[in-house]
Amino acid sequence: MVKNNVDLRGEREGRDRNERNTQKEVQRDLKAKEKDEAKRKEEASKLRSYDNVMKSENMTTNEVISKAYLMDANVTFYCFADWLRFR
């Protein structure tokens, strides 16, 4: 009978260590993908929200808009009246 001096325990521990390292790498990759996906979703959510648009300095009331419209209409009327007068 031939006996080989094979370290079965060492081989098994080495194989297990390699499997653990591979599993850890897979988990790191998965975690990085999830983090990127969460960041992408957050950016998409910001693009869809009105937070950047709905700021007080961008807001005007109907009263302000109507006054600006009336002022523009008066200027237009007076310009037209002058045009008619000097025609």
- The residue extents of the domains of the chain are 7-52, 55-87
- Whole-model pTM above 0.85? no
Model confidence band, residue 32 (pLDDT cutoffs 50, 70, 90): very high
Query: Taking the alpha carbons of 38, 43, 48, 49 in that order, is the dihedral positive or negative?
Result: positive
CA dihedral angle for residue 35, residue 41, residue 45, residue 46, rounded to 10 degrees? 50
Q: How far apart are the C-alpha atoms of 45 and 38, rounded to whole Å? A: 10
Across 28-45, average pLDDT: 96
What are 49-67's pLDDT values in tens digits?
A: 877 777 777 777 777 777 7
